[in-house]
Structure 1
Amino acid sequence: MFDGITRRVVSLWFPRLASDRVLRARPAEGPFALTLIESNANRLYCLNQAAEDQGLNRGMSYSDARAFAPSLISQPAHPQADERFLVTLRRWATRYCPWVGLEGRDGLVLDVTGATHLLGGEAALIKDIHQRFARAGITVRVGMGDTRGAAWALARHGGGVAAPGQMLEAIGNLPVAALRIEDATSLALQRLGLRTISDLSRAPRASLARRFGASLMLRLDQALGTQPEELSPLAEPPHYGTRMTLPEPIGLTSDVMAGTSRLLDQLCAKLKAQETGARVLTLTLRRVDQDSQQVELRLARPLRDPHRILPLFQRGVDAVDAGFGIDQLRLEATQVEPLPVQQLSHVATGRQDKLDDLITRIGTRIGLENVQRFLPADSHIPERSFLIAPAAHSRPEPGWGTPRPRPLILFAPEPIAGTGAQPPRQFRWRRMSLTTGRATGPERIAPEWWLSDENWRSGLRDYWHVETRQGRRLWLFHTPQSPGWFVQGEFA
């Protein structure tokens, strides 16, 4: 009771949350299921009504499911995407009340105490929930009661609304599994003849507590309302934004940068408190004519140091048209990443910081995705021994170890005239007549049989490091299975 008002709790259960999420984006006719690998076996994770009608159920192996339903359509499950979808539904459910929390991995719990009259009463609220989820293509089961346990039991074992003060009458005929207890405990109670919640409520409490522990009776008391149960909403994610309203309009770049500096100090303090760093910052400048201009800054690394971030705004602020003046500044970190506190060491990181700032400055002009770096790849094949990745989303890595040095310049194989397994003494390459002075090799490289590559279907390659008398240091290879010589690289 809260000042004479009876608490009312709504429990929403989404029995097909994962499959409904996928089918909303790509509808499919007939049986459909999501699969997940558990204990080295591919099993059904979530399925639609059509699949259940054909005798399929969760936990069934995928091979058995295909035997029952040859027309079964399946996709791999993504539990993390399902969790994000549930959080989205939680945010949407705040239309009914501000107190909305997660109930496991497939449900929500709402404390609608004092809010049902806004929608015309409890019956109208339940009807509105059903209609909205039906239009959205999401299966939902709704339970409502004075307690969280009673609402949970009704949602998952029958549905309906429990009248205020009549929890036992509403859930008494439900199985004992509706009390949110372990399966082993539920099975043991049924073997003792205690199949429903009413049976359990009439049984001797002391003997049940000795055998099953205090948690069983606690769950019963929570469902019936004799023991309180905390109901906390999911905390909203922190908002990383600051704003400054000016008494007089400003128009000078130096004034805008000074205001941005003050906002940065406040924003970086928030970021530090949450151990996060900003990757994308948006500075919004509102003019006196109500028009707004934005300056977006994308950082090569997550940062929360205002002294490093402020100079990076200079170029964007210089391009702003202040018009008749700017009377409000708003700074927001629209994308953040974890940035935990690090232990100080004697190793200086100033050079790396300067490189990150340089990448950010170049990225503001041509785009961060266009600033790229080479990374080593775990492959003996020369063409696959490196990767190209955006510098803002990667770190330099040490080169992958090879038994022989690799050329600085690598290009597509260019044929030259030559016979035999030894490098030719004289050959022409790119209209140059070259004479072999010294040859080191061979280094045999076999194709990676698990990958298909048109350039390597000819088979083995024997590579040679050839130093010519004209000063060229070339990387040649010979194909023994179909004799021929090629130049593929040049050393510095």
Structure 2
Amino acid sequence: MVGRIGRRRAVAHMNRLAAQAGLRVGQAVAHATALVPGLVLHELDAAGDLAALQRLALWAQRLYSPTVAADPPDGLVIDATGCAHLFGGEEKMLIDIRDRLTKAGLSVKVAIADSWGGAHALARYSPRPIFVVPPGALGRELHPLPVAALRLPADLVQALAKPGFDTIGELEATAKGPLAHRFGFEPIRRLDQALGREREPIEPVLAPETLRASRVFAEPIGAPETLARYLCALTVELCAALEAAGLGAKGLDAFFFRVDNRIETARLGLAAPSRDAARLAKLLCDKLETIDPGFGVDRMVLAAPGAEPLAYRQDDALGGPASADLSGLIDTLANRLGPEHVYRLASADSDIPERSVRKAPPLESPAAFSWPIDWPRPTRFFPRPEPIETVALLPDQPPAAFTWRGVRRRVRRADGPERVFGEWWKADAELARTRDYFQVEDEGGERYWIYRDGDGEDAATGSQRWFMAGVFG
């Protein structure tokens, strides 16, 4: 990619093969083409790249955190505070980000650190594609990296290299007074930001069409009741804007800008679009217990990203029974317990019992379960089938007795087998797999659903072991 540095055309970006050929960023185009004959050149579209990066930031904001910003020219910065646990931890969150962007055709390196500058440096200059810095270890991980990782201008990096400052560790070990006298305060500021000694605010990206309400305070506020009062006022203002646009909020993001350049955020998810100011304000105020105002908040912003069309609904004019609206209850439970803990069970198209049930959004229309009518299913399924020991005649006879959880049970009645084949279209390993299910009743009248993994004869069809799949009520 060719851009301009002053009046000359120079290499602005390049792929891995170009770097292996000996080219470097900032090199004159004439020199680069002389070194590598047949070099493919494209004019750099800096404005288009920045617009694409902003769109990518909006995508990440919807999925990962309310505080996401573009980190030009080629990165995103995400404040993962309070968000990583939703993905099972910081490393799993990074893996999810990498996998999604890789599927979109992008080459990705990701890092989590205690500071924006630290994560920026590790994501670009560490050889590891996924890097999670343990708390308190940021300095140790940054010291071996080159000075260029501190987001310094190229000419300043070259100036620091002349007296021998090649790594961040060497710069950190130098007295700051002479360093500032010779090179200015920029290296010290970037060093403090990378090591977390100076806070660097992340101004979250918002789409131009996103409806929002904001309030700037002449004096910082921090009392919980004061924050709640202004948050309610912003909610009323935002709901009025939503009503004027005929929209309803599917989620709300509240940003609290602190006087120490830190931004506290609260995200509210809704089961259905809404612009009920009273209900939304109550849900938002419940989130205030997670907000640390520090030395005070001097600005608040409330935004409704991804608002959806919402129209008034007329009740039955003849006085018939109105359908119950559970969205308020679902919103309260989801924002207290976490959205991953509130769901509806729905049927899935699969003959394998463990795969025949899926988690669905709470307000999804319930559908009849696609289980066979002739073969009833137990009222209680086990998340994972439990192994049992059996005495059985192969291949088609039910067991005469079985031992489950240390208790031996003699079978009095049995029905089966019901054969279920593997889903060969999902995995080649299931091409020959089969299961034989039996409904059995023991001498005490208890009924169980057990199965044999395989057809009882061919080892390719399964392990031929028996398992407890569920219990009838």
Give the structure-1-normalised TM-score: 0.45
Give the structure-2-normalised TM-score: 0.47
Which one has a bigger Cα radius of gyration? 1
